[in-house]
Amino acid sequence: MNFQLTEEQEMLRAMTREFAEGEIAPIAAKMDEACAIPDQLRKKLRDQNFFSLLIPEEYGGAGIDNVAYAVVLEELSRASAAVAITVSVHNSVGAAPIQLFGTEAQKKKWLPLLAREYLGAFALTEPGSGSDAAALITRADRDGDAYVLNGSKTMITNGAFADLFLVMARTSVEQKHRGITAFLIERNTPGLRIGNAIHKMGLLASDTTELIFEDCRVAVENRLGDEGHGFKVAMQALDGGRIGVAAQALGIAQASMDAAARYAKERSQFGKPIAEFQAIQWMIADMATEIDAARLLTLRAAWLKDSGLPCGPQASMAKLLASRMARVAADYAVQIHGGYGYTKEFAVERYYRDAKVTELYEGTSEIQRIVIAGSILHPKDRKTSK
């Protein structure tokens, strides 16, 4: 067993850290306040290949492995969790499913576009179907050489800026999950409207919107996978996405611990730095231990994916642990900052708000437990794809 990253993975970590500390961290608070990522930063992310990370080289991408990808996301998230999720949704649940389920023609058409120009998004959730994703009701009715979509989606990360949406819609009402089909739908398709922005507790710079489909005609060639296979497309996409969210949570937790340790050494009370009090030391020790545990689980899930081994339950374990750990680490960081931690003067206030969503999106912690328990109580031999 080797716990060391390769030279290339270490190099990617160092390069991403340099970029994140130079270009993202200095404006992270401003982005949070403005509830937006500036176009200029989006362009820099594009130029530095962050939107092509998982796309294979033959389709114009960087083609890095999943371990390196997790490392990169952690580093981005350490500077801004909002930037990390923008990159993660694009790569993990926007582009990767095309690589997994697309025909050669679809890969040749969409992957190079996603690598160099398009932003991707994933549209599964609806107002009435969140955790019970297979209960979605957006309709896709076949009409000649097209499908006609009607319905709405919500909680769509990247919704305001995405150029391509991976949309799950119902092609049969008789069957629950087997009646769902996946479609690739371009932003400018008539009948697709970007709905209201959703105002959130944290992750403010990452945009989240509704999507509305009104007689939206989508050519049959834009169907991803077979009719009725959309639920599997979504679930496999989420296996990868959950590794991304675990890495995002790690970044928030690491930033929280770094800030807490720095502050504890600077802040004096009762005649000495508060870092000398055992109460503070224990919080730091717990943060360090749990960050390490979550990082090991996250990299293990990524490694399984790289090895073509089943990784769904392991991705869920990584997300379950990392997200809870991030919430607690951010809480400790605020606690160590005392009253100042509750003000906008210190970044830990943002970490605290940002951490919570990692327990909610791409499957709540309760859903991760369903996946994990299911793998033990009713094991299925599921193949995975890199």
Residues that bind ligand CAA (CB under 6 A): 89, 122, 124-125, 131, 133-134, 155-157, 177-178, 231-232, 235-236, 238-239, 312, 361-363, 367, 370-371, 380, 382
Helix (H/G/I), strand (E/B), else coil: 56:
coil
Give the residue from 97, 163, 84 showing the smallest Cα distance to 124. 97
CB 378 → ligand CAA: shortest distance, Å?
A: 9
CB 285 → ligand CAA: shortest distance, Å?
A: 33
Q: Which residue blocks in the chain are alpha helix, DSSP H?
A: 7-19, 28-34, 39-47, 66-79, 81-88, 96-101, 104-116, 230-266, 278-306, 312-337, 348-356, 365-377
Place of tokens 């319905």: 151
The per-residue DSSP string of 81-115 comes to HHHHHHHHIIIIIIIHHHHHH--HHHHHHHHHHHH
Q: Which is nearer to ligand CAA, 232 or 327 (CB)?
A: 232
The per-residue DSSP string of 251-273 comes to HHHHHHHHHHHHHHHH-EETTEE
Name 151's bridge partners.
213
CA dist., res. 255 & res. 249, Å (int): 10
CB 102 → ligand CAA: shortest distance, Å?
A: 16
Name 273's bridge partners.
268
Give the sign of the dihedral formed by CA 13, CA 18, CA 23, CA 24.
positive
CB 311 → ligand CAA: shortest distance, Å?
A: 9
The per-residue DSSP string of 13-44 comes to HHHHHHHIIIIIGGGHHHHHHHTS--HHHHHH
Residues in Cβ contact with 325 at an 8 Å cutoff, skipping those fewer than 6 apart: 249, 253, 290, 291, 293, 294
Residue 254 Cα distances to 80, 102, 355, 370, angstroms: 12, 36, 11, 27
CB 350 → ligand CAA: shortest distance, Å?
A: 19
Q: Is the distance from CB of 162 to CB of 173 less than 8 angstroms?
A: no
First and final CA of the chain: distance in angstroms? 21
Q: Which is nearer to ligand CAA, 219 or 372 (CB)?
A: 372
Distance of CA 184 to the CA centre of its chain: 19
DSSP label at residue 328:
H
Residue 362 among the catalytic residues: yes
Annotated active-site residue in 58, 227, 362, 366 = 362
Active site residues: 362
